[in-house]
Each structure stands twice: as structure tokens, then as C-alpha cells.
Amino acid sequence: MHQAKYWKNEDSFVKCGLCPRICSIARDKTGFCGVRRNIDNKLYSLVYGRPAAMNVDPIEKKPFYHFNPGSKVFSIGTLGCNFRCKFCINWDISQAKINEAFEERTPEEIVHMAMKTGSQGIAYTYVEPTIFFEYALDCAKLAKKKGLFNVFVTNGYSMQKPLKDIKPYLDGVVIDFKGNNEDFYRDASTASLKEVKKGALRYKHYTNAFVEITNLVVTGKNDSKDEILEQVKWIKKHFGKQTPYHLIRFYPSHKMTDIPQTPVETMVKLYKLAKEELDYVYLGNVDGTNYDNTFCPKCKEVLIKREMFSSENTNLRDGKCKKCGSKINISGQVYC
């Protein structure tokens, strides 16, 4: 166990200030995430130093398409989450009960493993990184000293103070939206779209991280044109039209196996709609198409070709389109 940050005593409770749930946690109880416990009126992280998943991934799998494209990341995640997504593909760890079956790995060991695998950075992912924030922060500090970058894949549920603390060390963030529908968020994720949007803006205002945004498209639940158009206009207004935007095709999983996978035709229609507002739009979980490629917004030349998370730089040089010279919204080094 490791004493947590971002909490205060309140009578016989401790109040966690890490995410918008602001859980009031009684003695010997845990918060909503299941991994932060009140012990003798002090809050402890039960997952510090205990990653439940560790893998080397292409950064495109996160998915980052405009941040250090072609690089490798050492991905880690613990048990627990502050959402209860019925469609979660990592439900075996995000919804698992806390246990100590996983071998302890210090931040020093995580950074060493990342470097040994030839990774250029560390991704805090699989579950919401906010719930293992103290561990992520300590890893990120060491990683930065060793020349590695740090990225979060987040549901957006985080408060201001933690983000201000990790600002010097966090380089990129993928914010995963589950649609633009408050009712769907409440039913499918036990969460609030309003709070997700607030959290997304906190990442913008309180970190220097490069932002990419994903949106899950579920058949008949959040796939209307009006809903997607409202979302992309919100992104354009608050993050800019050059923000990379990924529409992710739903596949049945966990507690939502009764809903069919989203038709490719639906995804393509929403792609074309989003492209009217944003420069860089992509389709996830749609294989064998050009919707994973990066195009120059001006001359439409293919700049980076992608297939199954692999990438090839075809017409990008020094952050510009080789054909027309337009500057492309790419952060970091191009490894492909």
C-alpha cells in the first residue's frame, strides 16, 4: 500500500479529490474506483507499484496518430476504474476486485523495462490512469529524466490539482469519449458527459499535453448525425479544427453483447460528416480502408499510410507536406 495524494479528512470519512466523484470514504471502505481505501482515516492507494498489464505497443494502438508517429510505447495499467462501462474491453482488470496477485514493480523498474524494450515512451492506459495517479506520476518523473515521453489514455475524469502536478511530465493525452449523449453515459458507463467535458478542458488548461480525441460509436445508442456533429463542433470550438479525432467502431463485449457491431456504412457517413468540421479524422476498428491514413488538409496528399497499427511516412518532411508545403499538426519525432 502507498499513501495517496489529493484527499482530506472529514469527520469519520476521508474525501478523495482525485476525480469528479469526490468520494466520501468511510473507514475500511474503498471509493467508487475500488482501489483507494480509508485506513485509520488516511487514504491509501491499493495498486501503487502493482501493474496488472504491461505490454509494448505501437503508439498508433492507443490511438495516437499525430504524436510521435511510428514510435513504441511501454503500456501499463493497474486494476480498477472510476467508470463502469458495459462495453469495456479491459473489464477483466478494470472491474476486478482488488487483490495482491500481481508482482510489484517500482517506478524505477517500469522505466528500466521501457528502455530495455526500446520504447520511446510510457503509456498509462488499459484502465483510467487517474485511479493509479500517484504511481503514474512517480513513473512519469523518472521517465522524463531518462528522455522518455509520457502519455495518458483517459476517460477525462480528473480534477485540476493532479493535472497541474503532472504538467511538467505529461506529453500527450488521448481523451476517450463514449458519445455525446448524457443518458447513454449514465446508463452505459455510470458517468456524466458534463463532467467528461469539464475534465477534457482541464487537460487543455492545466497541462501542456498534445491532445487527440476518440469517440466510441455504438449502434442505435450514440450514432446519430446530430450527436456527432454537435460533438465535433464542440471539439473545434475548444481544441481547434486540427485536433485529431478518431471515431471508434463498437464491437460487442462485456455486458453489451446483445448489440451488433456498428455497420461500416454508418462509420463512413460519420467520418464524412466530421471531416466537414475537422482536418484530421480517422476510423478505428475498420480494416482495409483509407480511413486510417493521414491526409494533407490542403492538397489531400497521403502523408502517413497505416495498416493494422503499422505506419509508413510517405510525404511528410520536417512536419510539412512535401507536395504543397502545408504545416501538419504533428507533435514530437516521426519514427515511421
232-291 tens-digit pLDDT: 999 999 999 999 999 999 999 999 999 999 999 999 999 999 999 999 999 999 987 789
Per-residue model confidence (pLDDT) at position 10: 87
pLDDT at position 115 over 70: yes
Nearest 5°: phi and psi at 158?
-150, 155
User: Mean of the per-residue pLDDT values for the chain?
Assistant: 95
pLDDT at position 101 over 80: no
Q: What's the one-letter identity of residue 187?
A: D
Per-residue model confidence (pLDDT) at position 310: 86
State the DSSP H helix or E strand holding residue 273, giving kind and residue range, or none if neither.
Answer: helix 264-275
Per-residue model confidence (pLDDT) at position 100: 62
The tens digit of pLDDT for each residue in 174-227 reads 999 999 999 999 999 999 999 999 999 999 999 999 999 999 999 999 999 999
Strand 302-307 relative to strand 149-154, pairing = unpaired
Angle at alpha carbon of residue 171, lines to 240 and 295, rounded to 5°: 45
Ranges of beta strands (E only) in the chain are 2-3, 7-10, 13-16, 24-26, 36-39, 42-45, 53-58, 72-77, 121-124, 149-154, 172-177, 210-217, 245-249, 281-284, 294-295, 302-307, 310-313, 316-317, 320-321
pLDDT at position 13 over 80: yes
Nearest 5°: phi and psi at 42?
-130, 145
Q: Please choose, from the candidates 92, 143, 145, the residue with its C-alpha nearest in 3D space to the C-alpha of residue 117.
A: 143
pLDDT at position 96 over 90: no
The residues that bridge with 306 in the sheet, in sequence order, are 311
Q: Is the pTM of this model over 0.75?
A: yes
Map out the domains of the chain as residue ranges: 2-45, 53-292
- Fold exhibited by the domain 53-292: TIM Barrel (3.20.20)
The C-alpha cell that represents 142 in the structure block:
523518472
Using only C-alpha atoms, the chain has a radius of gyration, in whole angstroms, of 20
Per-residue model confidence (pLDDT) at position 1: 81
